Amino acid sequence: MSQHNQDRDKVVAALGGKKGLIDSGLPALIFLIVFNLSGKDVNTAIYAAVGLSLVLTAMRLVKRETVQHAFSGLIGVGICALISKRTGSAADFYLPGLWINAVYGLMYTITNLIRWPILGLMLGPILGENLMWRKDPARLNAYIRAGWLWVGMFVARLLIQYPLYQSGNVNALGTARLFMGYPLFILTAWGTWQILRKIPTTKIN
């Protein structure tokens, strides 16, 4: 495998990877499906989502695969389930996701503005340049440009999903989360790689 492809795979893995997307996204999809099939029974949908998350985590453990994203997904689903169960509102199952997008969007914006982009801090060590990219204006600007793609993704999710949450339209909210989950994440990750690949990594002397 070429260095180019190795770096691409490292970037994809660092941003969540395919398995990370499955572990974090499938329980929310199952929640929506079971919610409708069970006659809008919130508790049944919650149990299905939590149960699936537990199964995915167990599968990673049995296969001795990385469980970081599975555990993160399990904790996330647990929080979503707890809030939704306490309020009795199915829409509240998706509320923590809105909080996360708001926090991440703010973090990416602030770190970009102060020119310490999160992407550089996260990917620099993985790509073997540590923080040397800070001394390379072209590489620094590449990380910042890529960072704005992520800000755009988080803001787009909030602009579309928050009004749906406020309306209480669970099906529309769940569908929007589905289409703005996998597809938008993959598109943003692809755009990130297209920006970074054009600027060589900063060599460590």
pLDDT in tens, 27-36: 888 999 999 9
Q: Burial of 191 by CB count in 10 Å (0-12 exposed, 13-18 middle, 19+ buried)?
A: middle
202 located within any domain: no
pLDDT (tens digit, 9 = 90+) per residue, 50-80?
Answer: 998 888 888 877 877 666 666 777 888 899 9
205 located within any domain: no
44 located within any domain: yes
Residue 1 pLDDT > 60: no
pLDDT (tens digit, 9 = 90+) per residue, 75-107?
Answer: 888 999 999 999 999 999 999 999 999 999 999
b/e code 58-82 from CB counts within 10 Å (16+ = b) = eebeeeeeebebbeebbebbbbbbe
pLDDT score, position 120: 95
Whole-structure pTM value: 0.85
74 located within any domain: yes
Residue 180 pLDDT > 60: yes
Structural domain tally of the chain?
Answer: 1
Query: Phi and psi of 38, rounded to 5°?
Result: -90, 10
144 located within any domain: yes
158 located within any domain: yes
201 located within any domain: no
Residues 6 or more apart whose CB falls under 8 angstroms from that of 108 comprise 117, 118, 147, 148, 150, 151, 154
**Structural domain containing residue 188:** 3-196
204 located within any domain: no
pLDDT top residue among 158 and 200: 158
Rounded Cα–Cα distance for residues 21 and 43 (Å): 24
